[in-house]
Structure 1
Amino acid sequence: MEENRSFQSNQEEISRNPESSPSEIKDEISRKKELSPGKNDRFLNAPLRYLLLFLFAIFFVILLYGGNEAQKTSNNEVKDWFPKTFPETQKLMFFKNHFGSSEMVLISWDGLTPEDPVQEVLAEEFLKSETDEKGAALPPLVGKVLTTKGILEKLDSMNEKRYSRQKPPKPIREISEEKIQGWVLSRDRQEGCVVVEPSEEGVANREALLEKLYADAIRVTGLTREEIHIAGVTCDSVEIDRVTKTSQMRLMPIFILVCALLLVACLRNPILCFTVLVIAGVNQQIGPAAIYFTGSHMDSISLLIVALTFVLMMESGIHLSNYYRESLLEGGLDGAVTRTVRKGLLPCVLATVTTVLGMGSLAISQVSPIRHFGVYTSISLLAGTFTLFIFLGSFWENWPPYEYYFPGLKRRKKKLEEEALPIKKEESPERTFAEVHFLNNRWAKLGHFICGHYWLIISCAVILTGVFSLFVSRLETNISILGMLDSSNEVIIDYHYLEEKVGGLIPLEVVLRVPKTAENEGRTLLERLELVGMVQRCLKDVPGVDGTISILNVLPDPPPLRERSLTAVSARRIFSRQLEENVESLEDTRYYFQAAEEEMWRVSVRVQAIAKLKYEELLKAIELRIYETLLKNGITYAITPSQLEDAAFLREPLAAMEKF
C-alpha cells in the first residue's frame, strides 16, 4: 500500500512538471521523501537513545573530574614553553644541572635595618619543614636563606683576616657593604632584606612556598601582608595562575548567564535552551580533561580552550535548533530530528573541520602553550561535534521541545504561514513553507543584499585587510611581568618597592667555562678570579644592567696581581692557598663549579622588571661586551658568526681574516 502511494506520488510529480528534466524530477522527489513524515524515520531506536544519554551522563562525570584535576596542574613557567631540543632550553638545563635554579625571593619591609636580628629568626623559621596530618616532616620548601646581617658579619670576618697584615683602604664594614649593595642591601645602605632560594620541592610547589613565607613573616614580624614586600621570579607564575583562575571564576558565571539570557530571548523554548546550554557546558570540559589524561598541564593560554569550545558548541546548538524548528514546520513531529541531523550534519562538520584545520596549524609552533592550545582545541571541537549530534538528537527525540512546552504549535505555524503570504507564490508554487518564510524574513533581505553585491563586499574586505596589514610590523611582543598583570596588583607594587630600594630582580646568567688545559692549569686560582672580576666589571657598564653578582661578592677583596711589594706577594700566596684549600666551599656558593675537564664561573646579571627592556638587544650587548673585554686581554672566546659581524670593534680583524 505504501509503495502504491509512493508510485502514485511520483507519477503526479512527473505530470505536474512535463518540461522538467529527469534529474530535476528525481531531485524533487528525493527532497519530498526527506520531508515526508514517517513513524519509522526516528533518530535511532528508543533503547539505544536512552543508553546513549546514560553514557553521556557518565562521560560528563569523567570530563568534570579531568577538568577539575587539570586546573590543579596549572603552570606558567617560561622554561617549559620551548621543546627540549631548543638551544635556549638546552642552555637553561645545562645551567640548572651545574648551578641549580636561579630563582630567588626577596623579602623586606619598611624599617628593616641591616643589623636587625629579626632577619636571623625569620631565616630559621623559613628553613623549618612543614609537617603532615600525622606529624611527619614534609620535604623542605626552602633550600637556602641569606640575610643582610649574616652576610655582613661573614664578610667582616673574612676582610679582617684579609687585612690583618696591612691597612685596609676603607673601613671594614664599608668594604663589606660595597659587595652586597644592590643585592641584599639597599642602594642607600640603610635597609636590609632576606633572600630565599627555593628547594626543588619549593620550585615544584611555588604556591605553597609563598604561603609559607608570608605566614612565617607575618607571625615573626607582627606586620600585615600588605606591609611585607615579597617579589622575585618565583612570585610571577604563582600570581599569573592566581589571577587567571580568579578572573575565570568571576567572569565565567556572568558569561554563562549572558549566554543563557540570549538563548531564551532567541530560541524561546526551555528545552532547546536547556539542551544547548548543557551540551556547551559539558563539551567545554573536553579540552582540560584531555590535557589531564594525556599527562600535560594547563597554562594561561590553555584556559582559553574552555571559553572557545563553549561558544562554538553553543553556536552549533543554535543552528541545529533552527534546523529542528524548520523540520517541524515542514513535515511535523515524526522524523523531525532525523531531518534536522541530515540538514545540519554537513554544515556543522564543515565548520568544525575548517576550524580544526586552523587550530591544528598551531601544532607546529615551537612554543608549548601555543602548540597545546592548537592540539587540545582541535580535540575538543572534534569530540564536541560528535557528542553534540548524539545528545541533542537523542534528547529531542525522547522529549520533543515544542510537543512538551508548546501544544499550540499548530496555531503558531498558521500565524507564520499568514505572515508569509505576501510572497508571490504564483512565481514558485512548489516552495516549501520554510523557503517562503525565509524569503520573507528581514535577515533574509540582508542575505539577498550580500548576494547581490558580493563583489563590492569582497573588494572592501580585501582593501581593509591590506590597510590593517600595514600595522602588523608595529606589533611588539611582551612577556614581562608588567605586561601580564595590572599595575595595582600586589606583586607589581612589591616589584616597584624592592627594585627601587634594593636592585633588579630579574636574573640573566653568564657562565665562563675555562677548559683545564696545561696553560690554564698553570694559572693560579687567584688569576682565574681576576678573569671573573674583569668580566663582572665590564658588564656593570652595559645599558640596562642594574647590578652583577659573582663569587667575588661573597669573598674578601683579592690582593692585586700586579703589585710587586713583598707584602702583596705574601698576601697573594696566602689568599691563593686559602682558596685552593676551600674549593668545596666555593662550590657551595653556587657561583663556581668544577667539572672533570673544565671549571665554570657564574656571573649573575640583574635587570629591573619595571624597566621596559628589549631583551634581545640587551643579551646581544652583554655578549659583545664580554667578547670585547676578553679580546683586549688576549683571551679567546667562542661567539656566533652573526654576532661577530655586528661587533664594530671586530671589523678590521674580520677584514684581515677574509683577505688572508
Structure 2
Amino acid sequence: MESPRFLTSRSRLLIFLLFVGCYPLVFHGGMRAWLSTANRVLDWLPADFEETEKLMWFAHRFGSDEILMVSWIGCGWGDPHLPQLAEALVQPVPTEDGEGPALFRIALTSPEVLEELMRPPLDLPRDEALNRLQGWLVGRDGVTSCLIALVSEAGIENRKAAVERVYECAEACGLDRKDVIVAGSTVDGVAIDRISLDALLELNGASLAIGFLLTWLFLRSFRLALLVFVSAVYCQQLGMAMVYYTGRQMDSVLLMIASLAYVLVTSGAVHLVNYYVDAVRTHGLEGAPRRAFRAALLPCTLAATTTAIGLGSLTVSKIIPIARFGWYGAAVVLTGLVVIFLWLPTALEQWPPRRWAARLQSAAASRANDPWRWLCGIVTSHAGKIFLVTILAMGIASWAVRNVQTTARLHDLLPADSRVIQDYGWLEENIGPLVPVEVVLVMPKESRASSLDRLLLVERVRKAIEEVG
C-alpha cells in the first residue's frame, strides 16, 4: 500500500540538510551581491549598440577619464583653499599599514589653467585666456572658480572612497563639508548606489514585516506563516546570490530582484498552503502535505511558468540592466517554485500544525457564514458584469499607456532634492554646463588639406556649434 506521507523520513532529512547546508553559500552570495552594487552608464548599453561602438572608438583614440568638478560657496581667484585642496587630493591615502594609492592622479585649479594659457607657446592675453575658460572652469562673472580632479585607477575601483576623499581633504583644508559642491559621473554612481540601498533597506524591512503579519492574519497559524516567510526570505537571498555567482554586479534595477523574489515566492507558497488547508479540512492532517503537493503541482507550475515567460520578455530590451532583470527574474521564479515544492511539504510533514488543524476541522461546520464565501458568491453571480468592466478598464489603460514616458537617465533615478542634483544645479548656474559633447572631425586620408586648412575648418565648426547652443 502506498504511504500517505510526503516522501520517506530519509528523503525529508536530505532535503532539510540540503537547504540548511546551502544557506551559508546563499547568504554569502546575497550579501556580496548587495555590497557590490554599482551604476555606470557604460554598463547600461550593449556592446553592439551604435552609440556604444562610437564611445569605445572615441575612448580608444582620445582616452576616457572620470573627472570630478569641485567648488564651494565663495570660491574665487584668491581663495587659498584651491591650491591646498588640489595638492591634498593627489596625495596617497593614509592607511593603517602606511600609505595606500592616491585616488586622484591629477588635480587642476582654474588659476593654474589660466596661467598655463598665458605662458609660451600660447602667450594668450589674460582677457582672451579668461574668455576661453568662462563657462567651463570659470563662472560667467569671471570670478567664481573651481578645480577638476581626474580619478585614478584605484579611485575608479572604489568610487565611494574617492568621493569621500574629496570631502575629507576639503575639511582638512578648513572648508565646511556642507559648503563643498561636487559633480561628475563618479558622484552620480555613488549617489544612486547609496539612495538605492538606503531606500531598499527601509522598504524591504517594511515589506518583510507586513508580508509576514498579513500571512499570519489570513492563514491563522503562526507556524504556517513562518514556513511561508522562511521560503520567501530564502529565495530572496538566493536571487541576489545568483547575480553574484554568475559574475554579475548589482545595479539599481537588479536590486529589485530581492523584492520580486519575496513577493512572488510568498504568493506561490500561500497558494500551496491553501491546497494544504483544503486537504486538512476534507481528509484530515494525515497525508495532507502529499495531497496538497499533488493538487497544487499543475496550477502553481503554470502560474510560475507564465510569470517567468512574462519576465523573460524583458530580455529583448536594449538596456542591459533591464534585460538582466528579465533573465534573473525568470530564473528566480522557477527556482522559487522548486524551493516551495521541496521545502513546504517536507516541513509540513515533519512539523504538522496539529492544534491549528484541530481548530480548522472543528470550524468546518460554521463555514456557511464565512465572508470569503459571501464574496465568492457575489463574484460568481456577477461574472459577466465584472468581465465587461475589466475589459473596459483594460481599454482605458491601453489608451493611457501611450502617455507614459520612459527614461534611462541616471539623474532621473535621483530625487529632485538630493545633494547631487542640487550640486549640479549650483555648478551649472555659477560656472557653466557640466554635460560635455565632444565633436570629432574625421579627415579623409586622401585629403590634401593643409594643417592650417584643417584648423580653420575646426574653428568654423566651433563657431557653428556656438551659434546653435
TM-score, length of structure 2 as denominator length: 0.94
Could you report, residue by residue, the CA deviation over 1:547-596 in whole angstroms, capped at 9, with x for unpaired residues?
A: xxxxxxxxxxxxxxxxxxxxxxxxxxxxxxxxxxxxxxxxxxxxxxxxxx
Aligned to 1:206: 159
Bigger drift between 327-336 and 269-278 goes to 327-336
Which of 414, 423, 447 pairs up with 1:494? 423
Q: CA RMSD in A?
A: 2.1
Aligned to 1:288: 240
**Does the aligned pair in 2 maintain the 1:284–1:310 contact within 8 Å?**
yes
Aligned to 1:44: 7
Aligned to 1:475: 404
Confirm or deny that 1:218 pairs with 2:159. Answer: no
Aligned to 1:176: 129
Counterpart CA distance in 1 for 2:42 and 2:359 is 65
The structural deviation recorded for 1:236 is: 1.1
The structural deviation recorded for 1:107 is: 0.7
Amino acid at match of 1:329: R
Aligned to 1:151: 113
Confirm or deny that 1:443 pairs with 2:391. Answer: no
Confirm or deny that 1:527 pairs with 2:453. Answer: yes
Confirm or deny that 1:301 pairs with 2:275. Answer: no
Aligned to 1:30: none
The structural deviation recorded for 1:224 is: 2.1
Could you report, residue by residue, the CA deviation over 1:314-334 in whole angstroms, capped at 9, with x for unpaired residues?
A: 112222222222211222222
Which of 372, 375, 393 pairs up with 1:464? 393
Higher relative contact order (CA 8 A, sep 6+): 2
Aligned to 2:222: 270
Amino acid at match of 2:362: K
Could you report, residue by residue, the CA deviation over 1:43-62 in whole angstroms, capped at 9, with x for unpaired residues?
A: 11112212211110122221
Counterpart CA distance in 1 for 2:77 and 2:142 is 8
**Does the aligned pair in 1 maintain the 2:219–2:225 contact within 8 Å?**
yes
Which of 58, 61, 64 pairs up with 1:95? 58
Change in Cα spacing, 1:105 to 1:136, as seen in structure 2 (3 Å) is closer
Aligned to 1:337: 289
Aligned to 1:142: 104
Aligned to 1:76: 39
For residues 552-563 of structure 1, the aligned pairs below 5 Å read none
**Does the aligned pair in 2 maintain the 1:233–1:506 contact within 8 Å?**
no
**Does the aligned pair in 1 maintain the 2:261–2:332 contact within 8 Å?**
yes
SS of residue matched to 1:195? strand
Change in Cα spacing, 1:199 to 1:64, as seen in structure 2 (3 Å) is same
Counterpart CA distance in 2 for 1:92 and 1:518 is 25
**Does the aligned pair in 2 maintain the 1:117–1:149 contact within 8 Å?**
no
Counterpart CA distance in 2 for 1:119 and 1:216 is 11
For residues 30-69 of structure 1, the aligned pairs below 5 Å read 40-69=3-32
**Does the aligned pair in 2 maintain the 1:114–1:193 contact within 8 Å?**
no
The structural deviation recorded for 1:497 is: 0.9
Counterpart CA distance in 1 for 2:307 and 2:423 is 42
Could you report, residue by residue, the CA deviation over 1:421-459 in whole angstroms, capped at 9, with x for unpaired residues?
A: xxxxxxxxxxxxxxxx6xx64323433443344333232
Amino acid at match of 2:446: T
Amino acid at match of 2:115: E
Could you report, residue by residue, the CA deviation over 1:161-214 in whole angstroms, capped at 9, with x for unpaired residues?
A: 46xxxxxxxxx2211110100111011111110011223443333212111111
The structural deviation recorded for 1:132 is: 5.0
Aligned to 1:646: none
Confirm or deny that 1:537 pairs with 2:466. Answer: no
**Structure number, greater radius of gyration:** 1
Could you report, residue by residue, the CA deviation over 1:360-410 in whole angstroms, capped at 9, with x for unpaired residues?
A: 111122211111111001111111110111111111111102x2x44xx54
TM-score, length of structure 1 as denominator length: 0.68
Counterpart CA distance in 2 for 1:308 and 1:83 is 24
Bigger drift between 229-238 and 115-124 goes to 115-124
Bigger drift between 321-330 and 90-99 goes to 321-330
Aligned to 2:362: 414
The structural deviation recorded for 1:102 is: 5.0
SS of residue matched to 2:162? helix
Aligned to 1:505: 434
Amino acid at match of 1:353: T
Aligned to 1:367: 319
Counterpart CA distance in 2 for 1:160 and 1:105 is 26
Counterpart CA distance in 1 for 2:358 and 2:187 is 64
The structural deviation recorded for 1:82 is: 1.8
Change in Cα spacing, 1:453 to 1:200, as seen in structure 2 (3 Å) is same
Q: Percent identity?
A: 35
Amino acid at match of 1:89: T
Counterpart CA distance in 2 for 1:316 and 1:337 is 15
Amino acid at match of 2:454: R
SS of residue matched to 1:511? coil
Confirm or deny that 1:346 pairs with 2:298. Answer: yes
Structure 2's unaligned 5+ residue stretches are none
**Does the aligned pair in 2 maintain the 1:42–1:334 contact within 8 Å?**
yes
